[in-house]
Amino acid sequence: MSAGTARHVVVIGSGAVGTVSAIECLRWGHRVTVVDPGEPGGEHATSYGNAGWLSSHSVIPPAEPGMWKKVPGFLLDPLGPLSIRWRYLHRVMPWLIRFLLAARNPTLIEGTAQAMRTLLVDAPKLHAGLATEAGVPHLIERRGVLHVYPDRAAFEGDARSWGIRRAVGVEWLELSADELRQREPDLHRRYTFGLVVEEAGHCRDPGGYVAALAALAQARGATYRTTRATGFRRDGERLLAVTTEEGDIACDAAVVAAGVRSKALTATLGDPLPLESERGYHVMIPGAAAGPRTPVMASDAKMIVNPMNGGLRAAGQVEFAGLSAVPNWKRAEILRDHLVSMFPALAGTVSADNLKVWLGHRPSMPDGRPCIGPSRNVPDVIYAFGHGHVGLVGSARTGRLVAQLVSGVAPEIALAPFDPRRFL
């Protein structure tokens, strides 16, 4: 296939990554069909429950050197910021070992940070452009994000991570206690040190944003099929069709962007990739009486608080329990309690009647880098999943990379760090 040849591309998944991939493939002149059993931007989707940060500085993998020492605590504390359910331990152990080994020394973390920076740099600008195209520019704001610490000593405890960020080009502005009070008067006074990453942005309604992007894709010619993809029909290395619960869809290219459900699809092509669900929770307070003026992350709570169109959202927590385990809504209650602790004016205003809770599945690779690239056995199938905590922010450039791969042109960044074959 030569560059410029129009193809019929089936995009599996209508989340942020799949939807942007559809738009960018259309931009290159391809015919696009999107397959997903749910509505774009619906509550079933991980994109819907995203914390809303467009954090181009989120380049550090979740693991850190020496983290293996904390694993017993993850098992013993079911309500900690990261927990593993005992009954799921045997299933997640191979992934967990890879997760810990991928961050066993600073050199490996620095390599991941350099790669992730190429994927995320300028992401707020790219999203602002997409939102304008979709007629929803108000959903993307580029006013920076705030990290807060009890004191400078607590910040210094994260010095290694911030040093790596600085080495890959991230800059920030430090705030004293007085400056923090002026910027965020509702914030608890126990926080006396902060920093602002001015290049970052945020989304005021992730679900609404993805729905608007899907409407844009449809307006430009994409066809949407509400069904579940089950596999592929092929002739050797040549793709013939994507199989679904409602029959085959003939095509000559496909994109797997189905989040945590991508694992089963790649396995049908002989690519058993180590994709795992990091279950994440959020709480929403419609019409909150207090909160931040700009998005904020508290170092002690390990939680992001973001003012959105639908209310004040607090998101965080990592739970390993698989796709089918019932939610542990006590984890959402912890987010609520942290939220009230951060913003004392909320005390007495939050009740079950005005609190919305949600659980979703972050699709995560053990080394903190997504899979972006072709299947090793069927090159016409492009993988684009496993973004973990950066699915929304990373979707803008990922979609561009997918379209470039489908079109047979050189990707705009080096894809070796994201090559799915690194696990095979």
3-state secondary structure 248-274: EEECCEEEECCHHHHHHHHHCCCCCCC
* The pLDDT value given to residue 1: 41
Q: According to the model, what pLDDT value does residue 5 have?
A: 86
- Per CATH, domain 58-121+133-202+276-364 is 3.30.9.10: yes
Integer Cα distance of 71 and 65 in angstroms: 13
CA–CA dist 63, 74 (Å, integer):
13
Q: What is the pLDDT of residue 66?
A: 78
The residue to which tokens 């004191």 are assigned? 151
Contact partners, residue 95, CB within 8 Å, separation at least 6: 274, 276, 366
Q: Which among 167, 245, 168, 161 has a CA at the least distance from the CA of 195?
A: 161
What H or E segment, with its residue span, contains residue 230? Answer: strand 229-235
CATH topology of domain 8-49+208-273+367-423: FAD/NAD(P)-binding domain (3.50.50)
Crossing angle for the helix pair 391-407 and 106-120, to the nearest 10 degrees: 70
Return the pLDDT at 4. 63
Alpha carbon 87 to chain centroid, angstroms: 26
Q: How far lies 167's CA from each of 48, 162, 164, 206, 275, in Å?
A: 32, 9, 5, 30, 29
pLDDT at 3: 60
Two domains, one topology: 8-49+208-273+367-423 and 58-121+133-202+276-364:
no
Judging by beta carbons within 10 Å of its beta carbon (0-12, 13-18, 19+), is residue 371 exposed, middle or buried?
Answer: buried
Sole residue written with tokens 């016409």: 380
Confirm if 148 and 187 have CB atoms less than 8 A apart.
Answer: yes
With a cut of 50, list the residues of the chain below it in pLDDT. Answer: 1-2
Q: Give the pLDDT of residue 2.
A: 44
Q: Residue 315 belongs to what H/E stretch?
A: strand 311-320
Domain boundaries, the chain: 8-49+208-273+367-423, 58-121+133-202+276-364
**pTM for this predicted structure:** 0.96
DSSP 55: -
- Is the distance from CB of 256 to CB of 63 less than 8 angstroms? no
